[in-house]
Amino acid sequence: MKKTRGDATLPTGLVTFVVGKEEQRLEHVSKNLLCVRSEYYGKMFGIGMKERDAASITVPNTDLASFTAFIDYLCTDQLDLGEGEGEQARRALVLQELAQMYQVPRLELLCAQALHERVGPATAVPLLEAAHTTGDGRLLAQCRRFVADHAAEVRASGGVEQLRDLGVAKGLLGDALDQVAELKGT
């Protein structure tokens, strides 16, 4: 926050974000705060891009609750993942993506940590697919191990029905076949 005092290069004023397909509004966000908390916004509002003087910015590929949590993190340095294990995992995934996009590395790390802490029967398969999509090898390995060690719980929680990615399904089948071969060998 100290950077916001006395720096004439920081933009002044507020911005409204128009978020998602529903074009919901997040209003009265300080441009100078965004600039000191995010390199992306520092460039957007600081070097003469068309958004510098814009009263509103469109953010099409997210939902209002997740984007609000992202902006709240920038304003307060506190991470809010919402309620419930499944919602927290989903929010952490979305916030991690926003953190990557808007160049907020600390938030990205906090989200990665939150994801690793939330691997459970109901979240293992969706997190496995997300890890596969994003290339997060550590989370991928953790989820694969969890599914292998807690197969009955994952199945009972509906994890198998949640599976959408054929590549992940093939990988899990391969893991299962390896376990069967290992059991037959002993």
pLDDT digits (tens, 9 = 90+) for 115-159: 999 999 988 888 888 888 888 888 888 988 898 889 889 888 887
pTM value? 0.79
Cβ atoms 99, 112 nearer than 8 A: no
Q: Is the pLDDT of residue 109 over 80?
A: yes
Rg (CA), the chain: 20
Q: Is the pLDDT of residue 172 over 80?
A: no
- Give the domain ranges of the chain: 119-185
Cβ atoms 125, 160 nearer than 8 A: yes
The band of 170, judged by pLDDT with boundaries at 50, 70 and 90, is low
The band of 174, judged by pLDDT with boundaries at 50, 70 and 90, is low
